[in-house]
Amino acid sequence: MVEILPSILSADFARLGEDIARVEKAGITKLHVDIMDGHFVPNLTMGPPVVKSIRKVTRLTLDVHLMITDPDKFAPIFIEAGADQISVHQEACPHLDRTLRMIQAEGALAGVVLNPATPVSTLDEVLDLADYVLIMSVNPGFGGQAFLPNSLRKVQQLEQRRRASGRHFYIEMDGGLGPDNIGAAVRAGCDWIVAGSSVFSSEDPESAVRTMQQVARDAMMVRA
């Protein structure tokens, strides 16, 4: 099943609990949480106390995307705060194999993220290990940017590797996604679709998610 993961980056931070409750009504199972440190990306967002507060108001799986220069130091702290799955950037991890194993040992699913300029081949030695791979379809740092179509080719390359290996890992895509391009992402091989501004900048976030879930289901029929 393909899933839509609302990204709270575009939610109203003063009303986070209410915004989360609105998208939960659409029947989602996962929430995407963007952590930025002002170094790895040119923006700052939230830290572990916010994740801890979110954990108290929802049972959704918290998919925490670390856009920070020191994921080894902070991943365990976010897991302690309530993250269920943590993704780290390939570009920020000189010892990626060790980092992914550490996240799993701490009790979370371990994902690896690729920036638009980083080739899929850089993951060849960790595809046996990662629980999921996140393909960025914008340069990370901000919500509301335009989708970069090259990312679809990267998803196809990953999907080919997944089929060839026979090992399952999830493929996630993040950035510039909405009703118009989700179908292409799903047909390319995506399982998890992150959507920020297309959900929370809409008048009715619940129905925006429902629309995207339907688009994803329709595209899945074609893929299968």
Kindly list the residues in this chain that would bind Zn ion in the complex (CB under 5 A): 34, 65, 174
Residue 195 binds which entry of Zn ion, ligand DX5, none, CB below 5-8 Å type-dependent: ligand DX5
Give the one residue of 6, 11, 23, 65 binding ligand DX5; rule: CB under 6 A: 65
Binding mask 117-146 for ligand DX5 (x = CB under 6 A): ---------------------x-xxxxxx-
Residue 45 binds which entry of ligand DX5, Zn ion, none, CB below 5-8 Å type-dependent: none
CB atoms within 10 A of CB 131: 18
Q: Which of 19, 34, 63, 131 is catalytic?
A: 34
CA distance 157 to 160: 5
CA distance 195 to 200: 9
Residue 119 φ/ψ, nearest 5 degrees: -70, 155
Orientation angle between helical segments 71-81 and 96-105, nearest 10 degrees: 20
Binding mask 146-175 for ligand DX5 (x = CB under 6 A): ----------------------------xx
- Could you tell me which of 35, 39, 122, 42 has the C-alpha nearest to residue 79? 35
Return residues touching ligand DX5 (CB under 6 A): 7, 9-10, 32, 34, 65, 138, 140-145, 174-177, 194-198
